[in-house]
Structures are given as C-alpha cells and as structure tokens.
Amino acid sequence: MTAAAVPPLVTLHLWGVPGRAVPAAVLRMATERAALRRTPGLRFAKLLGTGSGRTFTPRDADPRRWGLLAVWDDDAAAAAFAGGSVVRRWQRIAEEEWTARLRPLSARGRWSRREPFGRPAPARWDGPVAAITRARLALRRAPTFWRAVPPVSADLQGSPGLRLALGIGEAPIGLQGTVSVWTSAADLTAFAYERAPHAAVVRRTPGARWYAEELFARFALLSAEGTVGGRAV
C-alpha cells in the first residue's frame, strides 16, 4: 500500500464473551493471526483486547470483550470475511457482537511502522463519526503518561455526543489506544480541542515525548450492527 492510498473500507468487530469462554477467547487471540494472514483482500489487521481506558494500565482490562480492526481492499473482501471461518469461530463463543463499517476521514501517524488508513483527503461528513488512537509508549516515560490519563478519561465519559468509548490494546502494557464513537464530528472536535482536560494533554504531548510511535485517525461511521454492553451504538 502506498502512502497516498486510501483504503475504501475499515471494519471493527467487538465480541462480548461469557466468563466461561474467556480462556477460549485468549486462545483465539493467539491462533487467529495465521488465518488473518491468509485472508484475501485484507491489508492490515489487529486483534485487540479492550478495557475501560480509565488508566491505561492492566487493571483496566476487560477479559470479556475482544476486538478485531481490519482494513480491506474493497467491500466484497470484507463481506466475505464477515461470513467466513474466523468470524464464525468468535461467534460460537460470543454472547454479544457489534460490527462497524468505517471510512477514513483523516489520519496521521503510524501503527506498527505502517500507515494503515492511508492519508485521506479532507472530506465533509455530516453523520456519526469514530476516532481511533493508538500509541506505543516510551516505557521510561510511561509513569507520567499514566498519571495524566485519569482526568481525561473522567471528562470523556460526560462529553456531549459520546456514544461509545473503549480502551484498546495489543498487549497489557505499552501498546495502548482508544476507540470512540460520536454523534457528530463537531462533538468529537469539541472534546479533543475545547474541553480542558484533553486540550491540556494535547498541548503537553510534544514536550512530554510519551510515545515512541503514535497514530490518530477519524472515520465516517457508515453503518453499525449489534450491541455493546447490551445497547446499540
């Protein structure tokens, strides 16, 4: 994928599993990578643990909710995957499922040394939006980052227009991020740049050098099906 290429479709799957299925979910996190590498039309994929995102430490982790973020060549490849064996294996152990189809509106930074969402040209979108952040922490600076997170997380929960907010991670420590869904781009922008706790962290980030790698992306929410925590998003 060239730096200028814009993937036509991004999908996010979230599966909620009962307590008895947690060991099976952990096993799938380890074993499904090979199947993903063989999936036609899949450009980029990350299996994800989730959590509350309140402190970005292991105590946030939610062992009963897991996710998969995927970037596709086209809608047909994504649809074939949705009906395929990887998704069916998750569905067999899940008691809840939520799937979103997303189109990148903006992205900057890298994830695993790649630009998975391309470099989208600015585009107007009047519907609901999603945001994904991901960072690889510079471990020697992690304690100051962890101290900065709780005020932002607490303020996020009360932000107007917020429909969903989760912490996401590829590992318990050091590889951390967020996914959030908002009623409008204006609501997301207001939280990011106008609400004091988050705006303060944004200003502090360049000097603090918390991240060895970082990515921030915004998406049009094209569609969403299912529930998270028993409610539609």
Q: State yes or no: pLDDT of 120 exceeds 80.
A: yes
User: Which amino acid belongs to residue 228?
Assistant: V
What average pLDDT does this structure show over 200-224?
A: 78
- Please state the pTM of the whole predicted model: 0.86
Determine the pLDDT at residue 2: 47
CATH of domain 9-226: 3.30.70.100
Which contiguous run of DSSP H or E holds residue 78?
helix 75-82
Is pLDDT larger for residue 56 or for residue 128? 128
pLDDT for 6 beyond 50: yes
pLDDT at 146 over 80: no
DSSP H or E run through 179:
strand 175-182
Q: What percent of the chain has pLDDT over 70?
A: 77
Q: Is the pLDDT of residue 229 over 80?
A: yes
| HEC letters along 90-151 | HHHHCCEEEEEEEEEEEEEECECCECCCCCCCCCCCCCCEEEEEEEEECHHHHHHHHHHHHH
Q: Identify the band that residue 144 occupies on the pLDDT scale cut at 50, 70 and 90.
A: low
Flag the least confident range among 43-47, 136-140, 217-221: 136-140
Mean pLDDT of 53-65: 74
CA dihedral 35, 40, 42, 48 (to 10 degrees): -20
Task: Determine contact, residues 171/149, Cβ cutoff 8 Å.
Answer: no
| Higher per-residue confidence, 88 vs 124 | 88
Q: Which of 202, 156, 160, 167 is nearest to 185 (CA)?
A: 160
Calpha distance 168→111 (Å, rounded)? 13
| Mean pLDDT value of segment 82-105 | 97
pLDDT for res 176: 79
Q: What pLDDT digit, counting tens, does each position of 149-178 carry?
A: 656 676 677 789 999 999 898 865 545 788
Mean pLDDT of 135-143: 68
- Which of 49-58, 89-98, 154-163 has the lowest average pLDDT? 49-58
pLDDT confidence of residue 168: 92
The torsion of the CA quartet 229, 19, 53, 223, rounded to 10 degrees, works out to -40
Q: 221 near 181, Cβ under 8 Å?
A: yes
Where do the domains of the chain lie? 9-226
Return the closest-CA partner of residue 33 out of 47, 20, 43: 47
Whether residue 77 contacts residue 202, with contact meaning beta carbons closer than 8 Å, is answered with no
| Predicted local distance difference test score (pLDDT) of residue 193 | 77
Give yes or no for residue 189 having a pLDDT over 60: yes
